[in-house]
Amino acid sequence: MVSNDPIEWRVSDAPQDYPAALAAMEARASAIFESRAPEQVWLLEHPPLYTGGTSADPVELLDPRFPVYAAGRGGRYTYHGPGQRIGYVMLNLAHRGHDVRLYVHAIESWVIAALGELGVEAWRAPGRIGIWTQDAGREAKIGAIGVRVRRWVTLHGFSVNVDPDLSHFAGIVPCGIAEYPVTSLAKLGNPASLSGLDTALRGHFDAFLALLAGAQTTG
C-alpha cells in the first residue's frame, strides 16, 4: 500500500550548499524508510560545482574550476549551478512497485512532459542518458537524470537547464557524452523561469505517480 501521508513539496529560493543538501536528503530518506517523515520532492539550485557519480571517469574532469563532490548517485560528471532547477525526489519504492528501471523511466517522462508544457519538445535518446531537445538543428542535452536507491527509498533525481551559465559545463565532459552540446531554455529563446518550470512539474506529478502505480498493479 502507498502511504496516505501527503508527499511534501519543498522549494528553496537561495542556492543550497551541496554537502548540507546531501546530508539533508540522506536524513530525509532514512526518515522515510523508518516511517518518521513523508516522502518529499525538493526543488532547489546549487552554487557552481561539479559532482561525480559512481561511474565518473577522472579524465572527464577537464577543468576543476569549481568544487568537485562525490555524489553517490549513478552516472558520471555533471554540473550544477544557479539557473538550473534540481529536483531531489525521495519516494519509497517499497510502496510503489519495487521497479527501479520504471522509476527512472517515469522521471524522464515527467520532465519531458513538463518541458512540453513550456513549449519545448524533448525526448529520450537511445544509448544516451538524459533529456534531449533540438538546438539550432542539432540534438542537445537540456536535462540530466541521476538517481540512487537505498533500502528502496530514492535519492537524487534530475536537473533541468533553465538559464545557467552554459560555459561552466566546459570544465567536464557532461555525463561522459562529448559529441553533443548542452543547451537551456534561455538559449532556446524560451522565457520560462524556475518557478514556471516548478509549476509545470507540479502539474504533471500525478501522471508521474500513476506510472509508478502501474508497477504495483502489474508487478
Q: Is residue 2 in some structural domain?
A: no
Rounded to two decimals, what is the model's pTM?
A: 0.94
Instruction: Give the E-state strand segments of 27-135 in sequence order.
Output: 40-44, 49-52, 68-70, 77-80, 84-90, 123-125, 128-135
| Catalytic choice (49, 91, 153, 175) | 175
Number of domains the chain is built from: 1
Domain that holds residue 175: 8-218
Q: Is residue 1 in some structural domain?
A: no
**Active site (annotated) includes residue 180:** no
pLDDT tens-place values along the chain, 219 residues long: 344 569 999 999 999 999 999 999 999 999 999 999 999 999 999 999 999 988 889 999 999 999 999 998 878 899 999 999 999 999 999 999 999 999 999 999 999 999 999 999 999 998 888 899 999 999 999 999 999 999 999 999 999 999 999 999 999 998 778 889 999 999 999 999 999 999 999 999 999 999 998 755 444
CB 23 within 8 A of CB 42: no
Nearest alpha carbon to residue 126 among 103, 106, 110, 108: 108
C-alpha grid cell, residue 18: 551541496
Domain CATH number, residue 125 = 3.30.930.10
Q: Is residue 198 in some structural domain?
A: yes
Q: Is residue 3 in some structural domain?
A: no
